[in-house]
Amino acid sequence: CELLGPFALLVQALLGVLALGSLVWKRYHEHPHRRPWVIWFFDVSKQVFGALLLHVLNLFLSMIRLKIGIATKKKVCDNPCDYYFLNILFDTTIGIPVLYFFIWAISGGCILAGLTGIQSGEYGSPPRVTSYVKQLVIYMISLSMMKSSIYAIMVSFPILTTIAVWALSRLDKYPNLQVGFVLLVFPLVMNVFQYYVVDNLIQS
């Protein structure tokens, strides 16, 4: 399974388009108050930047864990797709409440420090880019801390990787099918769920 092969990159691009499309669809079904496009763009772009950060981190950590395992002769598996599968699973499940906690904690600290314009989803009237940038920084820091927490859990409990290996083992003979499932089908379902929940979390 190659996470950075031509087919994998095509699948990842398709995932991004479909995931973003789900948020456009969500906006058109917002009732009774639909967010103006500017507000929607501010809210959604946080998730886009965050998704790019998480995607890069997941690819990087999946390959690094494999290399560390080979170097230390303690590898649980030799397939980076297994690690990536686990990263997506944790990011989109227990990662959500962990992310909420860090956003709440960091925002609370900023409020105590006297910073303004950091209430998530509140950008002023008219919307101010400065408020957006402050909230984006808080979101990205929170996301990085969440990812660090998830990675620590995965390293501390190698049995989780063993379970992932078992779950994906039947697709080992079909690498393109495995890439399609790990990089498109599974993350699409899980990320759409995550985007919906986080979108409700970060909007006003």
Dist CA 167 CA 80 (whole Å):
14
What confidence tens digit (pLDDT) does each residue in 144-191 have? 999 989 888 888 887 877 877 787 777 777 777 877 787 778 887 887
Give the pLDDT confidence score for residue 141 in this predicted structure.
94
**Overall pTM > 0.95:** no
What confidence tens digit (pLDDT) does each residue in 88-104 have? 888 888 888 999 999 99
What is the percentage of the chain residues whose pLDDT exceeds 70?
89
Dist CA 43 CA 39 (whole Å):
6
Q: What phi and psi, each to the nearest 5 degrees, are found at residue 78?
A: -115, 25
Angle among Cα 63, 44, 105 to the nearest 5 degrees reads: 75
Give the pLDDT confidence score for residue 146 in this predicted structure.
92
Measured CA to CA in angstroms, residue 118 lies from 11, 46, 106, 144 at distances of 35, 13, 10, 18
Helix (H) or strand (E) holding 36: none
- Whose CA is closest to 61, among 168, 1, 148? 148
- Indicate whether 68 pLDDT > 70: no
Contact 24/41 with Cβ under 8 angstroms? no
Q: Across 17-26, 85-94, 142-151, which has the greatest mean pLDDT? A: 142-151
